[in-house]
Structure 1
């Protein structure tokens, strides 16, 4: 059973992402215990649930334990074990500190008694910085605007999912140095987030979307092949073989709108169509290890309006890689900075037996 309690009907007044991230408080056991109200998504080929769900629901649980005039400004997360979409998650909030200006919470996500995800969050009281402030913020780069009415596609070739995304051409994509490239996209929650959800719903939605394509920036910067057409072992790829077959018959326009396909993947798909051998290195395993979000203007944006994300990777080695991400409103306000380290291992060639 994927939820502890039978899920109620989706609230039509709420957006898709609100319904997806809804929590049930287990107040009969402990007022600081929560569980996922609805089943969580397991991306095709992934080791476990989509990491953004754990990030967002931990944030949502913590937000329910603080005063309304406090807002999250940072959260530091660790992915411990792959989450199983067939098992309910129990979120335990610990009230570490509740001060006059700052409050600290830790949240552990557990399945069958084991911690699968843990985070520490810090909240700050509104307007506690005083009237005179030290202010500066990086400017949003000039990029093509999102195309209204254009939607991304899932593996069935249809619009889906709780949020929309539109990829922008990679900056410096022809550079031989992966560290010089910047991967950009427009994102927003699908539909309209309800007034009842308040700023908390927008923050949880942002946290959910912040994990989209994050560690994958490393594969994109190196133009690595992530989809394997003929896997004879039990290793996981980013997508299953049936989905790859569907990709091979899609036209170019639909391929460019497919959620999990970037320019490097397009090159490989074209090669497969033409019966050409793909000689480039292939990702064997790519999973997130940790995830940090700094919220800069937590009450001055809407997650259901277009936001621009820019990701770059300053380093990768020894089976790991680091990615930085900035998130802006459509009008250029910096609303979040994120950092993620991930496990990035290539599929190793079999050594010739002597």
Structure 2
């Protein structure tokens, strides 16, 4: 029988945000050094081939952070490959390799494995705080003008409820200005994102949950690492989907696509109802975004992420539980693939990250193409 976690999930900590609880890792010292596993079940988005890619990205980062001096070093880049679709009913083992410990930089590789097979791999680099010296070369792409974007909501959006789980973050799409009259490579898509609740000021210690028998429950060091993992998790939201949106390819605005997805769903009637509500919300967003656009009769047959990179520019200068603005555009698509660029700003205008992702974006064909 498949089981979503290797160890019985610990009690949730009331002073922790949903995203901290969702990304908890447990060390497996009895199996080997620098091996960790997910403490809780992993989210499998409705209609997706596997678990949400942001889970693997964030938990690999969290696992690597266990192995560095947290106060002295901070992540500055990670480069990831999605190898196989993750199964939400099987535990993941995260194997960290200590590649190099230098004076200014530390390098780690992490493999996420299920049943002995690598499903995700990443190389992560950490930089010692202040290693750049007192005099530095500084510039950044400015945040879009407030006249070009709607401000984020003041309170809870109420949009975090999904088909089979409460997602640990919320997002609000911004209107696409002049998007219908521009070619795909010139369209810019923006959204506000933030972790739900408030990320705690420090990681938990073992005394907070005696049932864990002395195991650490979360990420080491001060809380900036929790914010970094949360941001890495959210960076995968609507990412490769930018290619479809730039081409006005609607996945669920077509009622048949919703029914086709629901037909293959094996959950309870209540879960199926919640899934329908989730898919219909996406359909409404797609319809609003493409209002006045001539419908495109091409259909997406497959859309999955292949790789994902993040450069962290100001890793200690933001909170992931406050609104962050993301801006995405796709400079190229072809041969069944698409490339997307993403910039993320804190609400005060600080550029905190740049991300890239290439994905498999295939249209429905007369003959099936296997991945």
Residue 228 (structure 2) aligns with: 203
Residue 9 (structure 2) aligns with: 7
SS of 1:311's partner is strand
Measure how far apart 1:172 and its partner are: 3.2
Residue 343 (structure 1) aligns with: 360
Measure how far apart 1:27 and its partner are: 1.3
Residue 82 (structure 1) aligns with: 85
Q: Partners of 2:111 and 2:278 in 1: how far apart?
A: 38
CA contact (8 A) 1:153 1:159 kept: no
Unaligned runs of 5+ in 2: 204-222, 266-271
Residue 45 (structure 1) aligns with: 47
Q: Partners of 1:245 and 1:205 in 2: how far apart?
A: 27
SS of 1:56's partner is helix
Residue 108 (structure 2) aligns with: 105
Pick the aligned partner of 2:351 from 312, 334, 344. Answer: 334
CA contact (8 A) 2:80 2:307 kept: yes
Residue 210 (structure 2) aligns with: none
Unaligned runs of 5+ in 1: 249-254, 272-276
Deviations 1:264-307 (A, max 9, x none): 44478999xxxxx9662111100000000000000111000010
Q: Partners of 1:22 and 1:36 in 2: how far apart?
A: 6
Deviations 1:153-178 (A, max 9, x none): 25769994100111101243122401
Deviations 1:41-67 (A, max 9, x none): 000000000000000000000001011
Residue 38 (structure 2) aligns with: 36
CA contact (8 A) 2:46 2:163 kept: no
Q: How does 1:171-210 map to 2 (within 5 A)?
A: 171-197=177-203, 198-210=223-235
1:162 equivalenced with 2:162 (yes/no): no
Deviations 1:297-330 (A, max 9, x none): 0011100001000000000000000000000001
Query: Does the C-alpha gap of structure 1 residues 261 and 136 become closer, same or farther in structure 2, counting only changes over 3 Å?
Result: farther
CA RMSD of aligned residues (A): 2.9
| Runs of 4+ off more than 3 Å | 154-160, 228-233, 239-248, 260-271
Normalising by structure 2, we get a TM-score of: 0.83
Q: Partners of 1:309 and 1:40 in 2: how far apart?
A: 24
1:137 equivalenced with 2:140 (yes/no): yes
CA contact (8 A) 2:43 2:165 kept: no
CA contact (8 A) 1:324 1:337 kept: yes
Query: Does the C-alpha gap of structure 1 residues 232 and 157 become closer, same or farther in structure 2, counting only changes over 3 Å?
Result: closer
Pick the aligned partner of 2:321 from 292, 304, 317. Answer: 304
Query: Does the C-alpha gap of structure 1 residues 15 and 339 become closer, same or farther in structure 2, counting only changes over 3 Å?
Result: same
Query: Does the C-alpha gap of structure 1 residues 278 and 186 become closer, same or farther in structure 2, counting only changes over 3 Å?
Result: closer
Q: Partners of 1:311 and 1:209 in 2: how far apart?
A: 13
SS of 1:196's partner is coil
CA contact (8 A) 2:248 2:290 kept: no
Residue 218 (structure 2) aligns with: none
SS of 1:288's partner is strand
